[in-house]
């Protein structure tokens, strides 16, 4: 494998949905011109974060080949996903790119025992020839997430707690020995301690088995802790992306700044700042329908240009950003996140 060979190449991907509402002109661009790549010789954890309804799951569906992009293309190990037609090709692809879904209760049918899924996955992807072996494979996978077959055996999904069932779905994804795990909110239902166990497991998979992970999350603290890079999405657009230390450590986009300061601190001493009133977005569709920057309706630094023109992608201070405050890479005075008083009379 040559250096810099791409494991995954996301090239100007756009997904539009036709919707009934005319607020957005009958169209909703859920993924708006998204580009990034993961490299084969450099397994990494790439996080995608951002408000609900910002297109993260839609993008994940494209990467899983469950949804064709309206424009742009996705290549995995050199193969354009739109050329995967035969069942064999699809199965091969599916073994290498495994999903972990947002809502585990939707992954598992309420009428089937959870172990059935694990056994089935092991057989389907050729990890085991018979049920006995498959059960062993399942048990190993469950141990990696802090469970055992003995504990879940004979149980239906509703007989497990939210956290238990989510760990089962991570275990299921590990069974085919994938190269890329696409985890959509994998830890939203589990407690901090297990959350750390699961994200540490992602780190271990990256470091020891060279598995890359796309980690879609609302939990910016764990995203900071495990990721190499992060992309912040707002209404289909990646507004800021780059190394996590830059993007979350020192956010420049006003939206990333809001996100970062909204993370509640695990200390009872900073309640006041977090309790400060915030504006929530009006309806999602309205923001999607905006012509210029999608954040213009809420941004404390909004300028006229933001309302009509789409901010171009620029490299600023070790990250890629879309915001007119940083046009030409220069940071104008108005960029200061705390700005009070009137500049003219000051």
Partner 1 sequence: MSLMQMEDVRAYYRTEAYGISRSVRAVDGVSLELLENEIYGVAGESSCGKTTLIKVISGTVKPPLRVESGRVDFNFGDFEVDMLKISPEDMRQNVRWKEISYVMQGSMSVLNPVRKISRTFEDIVGTHQGIPDKKAFREQMREHVMRLGLPPDVLTLYPHQLSGGMRQRVAIALATVFHPSLIIADEPTTALDVVVQRGVLHMLKDIQAESANTVLLVTHDLAVHANVADRVGIMYAGRIVEEGPTQTIFQAPRHPYTEHLINSLPVIGDKTVKKSLGGAPPNLADPPSGCRFHPRCPLAMDRCRTEMPEMIMLSERHRVACHLVEEGRA
- Which residue, 249, 238, 230, is CA-closest to 45? 230
Asked if 104 touches ligand ATP (CB under 6 A), the answer is no
Options 259, 301, 316, 319; binder of ligand SF4; rule CB under 6 A: 301
Looking only at residues 28 through 67 of this chain, which bind partner 1 when binding is defined by CB under 8 A?
49-53
Q: Sign of the CA dihedral 120, 125, 67, 56?
A: positive
DSSP-based three-state secondary structure for 305: helix
In the list 8, 95, 114, 306, the residue contacting ligand SF4 (rule: CB under 6 A) is 306
Is residue 319 within 8 A of residue 241, CB to CB? The reply is yes
Binding status of residue 254 toward ligand SF4 by CB under 6 A: yes
Give the span between the Cα atoms of 101 and 12, in whole angstroms.
24
What's the min distance (Å) between Cβ of 312 and ligand SF4? 10
Contact 322, 311 (CB under 8 A): yes
Comparing CA positions, the residue from 53, 50, 52, 58 lying closest to residue 10 is 58
Q: Using the rule CB under 6 A, which residue among 7, 24, 28, 147 binds ligand ATP?
A: 28
Tell me how many helices (H) and strands (E) the chain has.
14, 12
Q: Which does 135 bind (CB under 5 to 8 A by kind): ligand ATP, Mg ion, partner 1, none?
A: none
Q: Does 121 bind ligand ATP (CB under 6 A)?
A: no
| 234 contributes a contact to ligand SF4 by CB under 6 A | no
Residue 57 binds to Mg ion (criterion: CB under 5 A): yes
Which is nearest to 118 in space by CA: 73, 169, 156?
Answer: 169
Q: In 3-state terms, what secondary structure has residue 40?
A: coil
Contact of residue 249 among partner 1, Mg ion, ligand ATP, none (CB under 5-8 Å per partner type): partner 1
Instruction: Kindly give, in sequence order, each residue whose CB lies less than 8 Å from that of residue 134, ignoring residues fewer than 6 positions away.
Output: 118, 119, 120, 122, 123, 127, 128
Residues of this chain that interact with ligand ATP (CB under 6 A) are 17, 19, 28, 30, 52-58, 102, 158-164, 189, 284
Residues of this chain that interact with Mg ion (CB under 5 A) are 57
Residues of this chain that interact with partner 1 (CB under 8 A) are 49-53, 102-103, 105, 146-148, 151, 154, 159-164, 166, 185, 188-194, 196-197, 200, 218, 220-222, 224-225, 245, 248-249, 258-260, 262-271, 274-275, 277-278, 280, 282-284
Residues of this chain that interact with ligand SF4 (CB under 6 A) are 253-254, 293, 295-296, 299, 301-303, 306, 311, 323-325
């Amino acid at each position: 494998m040559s250096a810099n060979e791409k494991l995954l190449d996301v090239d100007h991907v756009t997904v539009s949905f036709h919707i009934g509402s005319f607020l957005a002109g009958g169209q909703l661009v859920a993924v708006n011109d998204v580009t990034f790549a993961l490299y084969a010789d450099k397994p990494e954890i790439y996080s995608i974060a951002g408000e609900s309804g910002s297109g993260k799951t839609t993008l994940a569906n494209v990467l899983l080949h469950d949804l064709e992009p309206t424009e742009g293309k996705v290549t995995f190990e050199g193969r354009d996903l739109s050329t995967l037609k035969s069942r064999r090709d699809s199965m091969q692809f599916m073994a290498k790119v495994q999903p972990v879904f947002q809502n585990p209760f939707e992954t598992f049918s309420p009428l089937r025992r959870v172990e059935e899924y694990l056994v089935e996955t092991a057989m389907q992807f050729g990890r085991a020839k018979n049920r006995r072996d498959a059960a062993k494979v399942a048990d190993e996978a469950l141990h990696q997430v802090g469970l055992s077959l003995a504990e879940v055996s004979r149980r239906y999904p509703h007989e497990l707690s939210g956290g238990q069932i989510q760990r089962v779905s991570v275990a299921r994804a590990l069974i085919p020995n994938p190269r890329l795990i696409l985890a959509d909110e994998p830890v939203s239902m589990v407690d901090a301690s297990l959350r750390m166990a699961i994200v540490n497991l992602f780190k271990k998979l990256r470091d020891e088995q060279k598995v890359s992970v796309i980690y879609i999350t609302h939990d910016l603290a764990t995203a900071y802790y495990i990721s190499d890079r992060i992309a912040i999405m707002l209404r289909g657009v990646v507004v800021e992306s780059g190394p996590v230390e830059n993007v979350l450590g020192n956010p420049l986009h006003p939206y990333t700044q809001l996100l970062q300061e909204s993370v509640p601190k695990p200390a009872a001493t900073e309640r006041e700042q977090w309790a400060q009133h915030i504006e929530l977005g009006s309806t999602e569709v309205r923001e999607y329908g905006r012509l210029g920057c999608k954040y213009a309706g809420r941004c404390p630094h909004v300028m006229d240009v933001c309302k009509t023109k789409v901010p171009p992608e620029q490299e600023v201070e070790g990250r890629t950003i879309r915001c007119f405050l940083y046009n030409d890479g220069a940071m104008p005075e108005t960029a200061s996140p705390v700005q009070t008083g009137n500049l003219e009379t000051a």
